[in-house]
Amino acid sequence: MSRKVEEWTVLSMLEWATDFFENKNIPDPRHSIEWLLADTLDIKRLDLYLKYDRPLSPQELDALRPMVKRRAQHEPLQYIVGFTDFMNARISVNENVLIPRIETEQLVEILLDNHGSRQALSLLDIGTGSGCIPIAIKMEQPDWNVSGIDISEDALTVARKNATQNDVSVNFSLGDILTPSGINATESLDIIVSNPPYIKSEEKDMLEPQVKEYEPSEALFFDDLQKMYKSIINFAYQHLSPNGYLYLELHEKYSDEILDLFDTQKWSARVEKDYDQKPRFIVANRN
């Protein structure tokens, strides 16, 4: 950003920063500067294209410069601006929580499609992180009793903030599914949902720097997937009511392996595909 201040307009910034991010190998460079510039100007990204000739003030440039620098170092956009949208919710995020993905939105959509009545149900989210799953569900089903657990107190702080911001009541508490005896949960839940860490450490080098260098490793990586999912499945069988449902997100490479963990005498389980037609979810019904 070495030009004179008076030369900077919305269009010139979009063009310069797109080239700058491309040279830094930043994914989706145009999208990156659109998001940062729209946040700086407090407008929608699409509105940028109605304001091409709008000059940027010195104050706006001062606010934008550190954001561009952070993005050039591959820091995720969502951490820079401090939020992301998840379904109908505005979710604050920072380095203590995983950034919600479109696949997790689809998991919630599948769940809500299967339980569309307004009947009051009880639901627990295991590994809640930012709280995006139970918050989005509570916003759609306000009569449900919704809760979430996580091993990180820092993540739970973010989740509670998000519940307040979205004006919903969700009970968040500390809990580790690998030591389930310490989890305070009812014995008659209707639904359990979980998006646990499911990337093996050997795959770390395949990830974008914005993921592996910034997002919390405990929310991304776990090598013994069978141990993780067995713990969730066993906990769910003990705490779900008869005919209760378990919804899981998983790595597409290991969908068959995880499906095989379900005892067919205890569960009716199936794999469902994501929007890219990858086997991404398991929906299981307790027999």
- What is 50-110 written as a DSSP string? G-TTPBPPHHHHHHHHHHHHHHHTT--HHHHHTEEEETTEEEE--TTSPPP-HHHHHHHHH
Give the whole-angstrom CA distance, residue 132 versus residue 48.
28
Domains 5-73 and 83-286 share a fold: no
**Domain extent listing, the chain:** 5-73, 83-286
* Tens of pLDDT, residues 219-261: 999 999 999 999 999 999 999 999 999 999 999 999 999 999 9
* Tens of pLDDT, residues 177-227: 999 888 877 668 999 999 999 999 999 999 999 999 999 999 999 999 999
Local confidence band at 5 (pLDDT 50, 70, 90 cut-offs): very low
Options 3.40.50.150, 3.20.20.70, 1.10.486.10, 2.30.110.10; CATH of 83-286: 3.40.50.150
Write the CATH number of the domain with boundaries 5-73: 1.10.8
Q: Which amino acid is at 215?
A: E
Dihedral sign, CA of 192, 91, 47, 5?
A: negative
Q: How many residues in total does the chain contain?
A: 287
Give the whole-angstrom CA distance, residue 13 versus residue 33.
8
Check residue 2 and give its pLDDT.
53
Is the pLDDT confidence value at 3 over 60?
A: no
